[in-house]
Structure 1
Amino acid sequence: MFLSLTAITAFSVIVITIGIFIILFKESLPAMNKFGFEEFIFSNDWDPVQESFGAAPALIGTLITSFFALLLAIPVAIGIAIFITEIAPSALKGVIGTAIELLAAIPSIIYGMWGLFTLAPIMSKYIEPFFQSTIGKLPLIGKLFEGTPLGVDLFTASIILSIMIIPFTASIARDSFNLTPSVLKESAYAIGATKWEVVKDVVLPYSKLGVLGGVGLSLGRALGETMAVAFVLGNLNQIPTSLFDAAATVTVKLANEFTEADKDIYLSSLYYLALLLFIMSFTILAIAKIFLVRVEKR
């Protein structure tokens, strides 16, 4: 009885995942038949009146916000993990670890409200003008900081996402660092290595697959975030050319427009977007899980 019950609960996860894919695929068929794959992926149109839909702005906005969120979060998260495992006194390790993990317990809508009413004004008044007057004057990279600093843009959304995914990356990186055999670190210290050299040459190389797995899981979290991004992104259906541009993501577009879809092809196009996001997230999380499994085997 116990074996059957556990087997059913285990396989139910697979059944639910396959069921979600089948439903999304079935509901997306009208949009697939009308627009195809390449036309839908690379088109900038999103005109419900003319029944012309394209996913390029939403997909690009999703990828940009997630990429910059990882760019901001990874150094901080790895630094936190190194401090907890290698530097902090034993009395502080549990306190700091718990405090970091509590960030993951804050509802995303709270992050969104904080971002809109607190962070966005600070960004528009102080931080974004500072970047424009410094990095914005550099060739090439300065293009990323053009435009009017309004605070409701890709940059602010990326910062909020980075704060939200730091606990996931930091927790998995910490666990991976703790898996490094003590004999390896003690041997390095015995031959005169400094703490920095032990971290750089022993801990990080040994646990790199686990860290990459944590980054993959965090990326999956960033791709699927909705409410926090919806408050500060602007939901403008255009391909952004600057970090100070308003943009759209797949999740925000689904949340804002699903109840407004009054035509079958409109609703099917939204399901098509959801299917693409499902495939992206599933692929990234599967790769991350493979990395984590390899670490456990080692």
Structure 2
Amino acid sequence: MTQTTSSEPTAEEDYGTHPGASANRFFTALSTSAGALILVTLAAVATFLLAEAWPAITMGAAELGESVSFIKPDQGQSLIEIIGYLIYGTLLISIIALILATPVAIGIALFISHYAPRRLAQGLGYLIDLLAAVPSVVYGLWGVAVLVPTLQPFYQWLADNLGFIPLFAAPENGQIFTGRVAMSAGIVLAIMIIPIITAVSREVFLQTPKLHEEAALAMGATRWEMVKMAVFPFGRSGMIGATMLGLGRALGETMAVLMIIGPGLTYSAHILQPGQHNTIAAYIALQFPEANALGVNSLIAMGLALFVITLLVNMLARWIVSRRSEFSGAN
């Protein structure tokens, strides 16, 4: 008995003549090009920043101080020193914002996803998404007109009762509590990044498998114990990613910080004293209109420093998320 072989093509052989094959190849090329475009754009931005910042980086501190309008020669501040002050101020204000915003944002996300009635949760979710679309200049105006005057008595109370802690030390040399300090800028930035962290964390919490939650409740766990045993472990990497997104927004914020803070260039830890801190983005926006040719190169060098910081923060976030992915819902 002879064995007959089928002349019908296999699935792999027939794939090239399938009606959707050309569309699939087009979509593959399109998605690959989109992914490559991101890398090309990132490389182009990095190349531009490095090329434009190179004259300021390679020039001596004395010559730079005489050529750049915003660097005061009498203070003896070089470009590297100014960038160091600005990096410190940027990180300090962003960390203040992150410390204040993260617990509140995660609490709101948890309330929307597991505690609030469905109708209330939907309305609150829409409100949070709407807050994320408010321009930063509006937050800055609100901070100057409403928040700063309101916080001045509170800052005075902190200095009177906790002034022995360097963070809350009162202004020196006869200065008064203006409220335009790093703490105020950090509070406004915290309000600005709360919607971002809340929106991402809420979606992560809603993806928790119902079987996990029901299993925890069936074992006699309370609502909070269920959240602690099922929801938080599942959404840990998502919460980290949301926090890093908020940190990225805080690092690059310009107008709100520029409108609120009383700028200064020091390594001071006194967050209630004016004229102590500033951020890279706010400093660039403040000095750019008056900068000469070399001054623009110096400002671009500061932008390069901010670019590197943001890149390192995102790389760190990706590394943390990848380490925790097998223990959470990221996979």
Match of 2:155 in 1: 128
Alpha-carbon contact 1:213-1:287 (below 8 Å) kept: no
Match of 1:168 in 2: 196
Q: Does the C-alpha gap of structure 1 residues 116 and 48 become closer, same or farther in structure 2, counting only changes over 3 Å?
A: farther
The one-letter code matched in structure 2 to 1:240 is: S
**Residue deviations 1:225-266 (CA, integer Å, cap 9, x gap):** 0001100111222333311123211001111112222142x3
Superposition deviation, residue 52 in structure 1: 3.0
Structure 2 unaligned spans of 5+: 1-25, 62-69
Is residue 2:307 matched to residue 1:278? Answer: yes
Per mean C-alpha deviation after superposition, the further-off stretch among 184-193 and 279-288 is 279-288
- Aligned to 2:288, which of 246, 252, 258? 258
Per mean C-alpha deviation after superposition, the further-off stretch among 106-115 and 251-260 is 251-260
Match of 2:10 in 1: none
Alpha-carbon contact 1:217-1:284 (below 8 Å) kept: no
Match of 2:39 in 1: 14
Alpha-carbon contact 2:158-2:168 (below 8 Å) kept: no
Is residue 2:183 matched to residue 1:155? Answer: yes
Secondary structure in 1 matching 2:132: helix
- Aligned to 1:78, which of 99, 106, 129? 106
Superposition deviation, residue 180 in structure 1: 1.7
TM-score by length of 1: 0.88
TM-score by length of 2: 0.79
Superposition deviation, residue 273 in structure 1: 0.9
The correspondence of residues 203-242 of structure 1 with structure 2, limited to 5 A, is: 203-242=231-270
Alpha-carbon contact 1:214-1:288 (below 8 Å) kept: no
Alpha-carbon contact 1:168-1:218 (below 8 Å) kept: yes
Q: Aligned partners of 2:318, 2:137: CA distance in 1, in Å?
A: 28
Match of 1:40 in 2: none
Superposition deviation, residue 270 in structure 1: 1.3
Is residue 2:220 matched to residue 1:195? Answer: no
Superposition deviation, residue 71 in structure 1: 0.6
Secondary structure in 1 matching 2:202: helix
- Aligned to 1:52, which of 59, 62, 78? 78
Superposition deviation, residue 64 in structure 1: 0.6
Is residue 2:272 matched to residue 1:244? Answer: yes
Alpha-carbon contact 2:166-2:270 (below 8 Å) kept: no
Alpha-carbon contact 1:46-1:237 (below 8 Å) kept: no
Alpha-carbon contact 1:209-1:292 (below 8 Å) kept: yes
Superposition deviation, residue 91 in structure 1: 1.1
Matched length: 285
Q: Aligned partners of 2:255, 2:60: CA distance in 1, in Å?
A: 29
Per mean C-alpha deviation after superposition, the further-off stretch among 201-210 and 81-90 is 201-210
Alpha-carbon contact 1:29-1:268 (below 8 Å) kept: yes
Q: Does the C-alpha gap of structure 1 residues 14 and 280 become closer, same or farther in structure 2, counting only changes over 3 Å?
A: same
The one-letter code matched in structure 2 to 1:146 is: A
Secondary structure in 1 matching 2:262: coil
Q: Aligned partners of 2:167, 2:209: CA distance in 1, in Å?
A: 46
Larger Rg: 2
Q: Aligned partners of 2:232, 2:248: CA distance in 1, in Å?
A: 23
Q: Does the C-alpha gap of structure 1 residues 90 and 75 become closer, same or farther in structure 2, counting only changes over 3 Å?
A: same
Q: Aligned partners of 1:104, 1:289: CA distance in 2, in Å?
A: 23
Secondary structure in 1 matching 2:101: helix
Secondary structure in 2 matching 1:105: coil
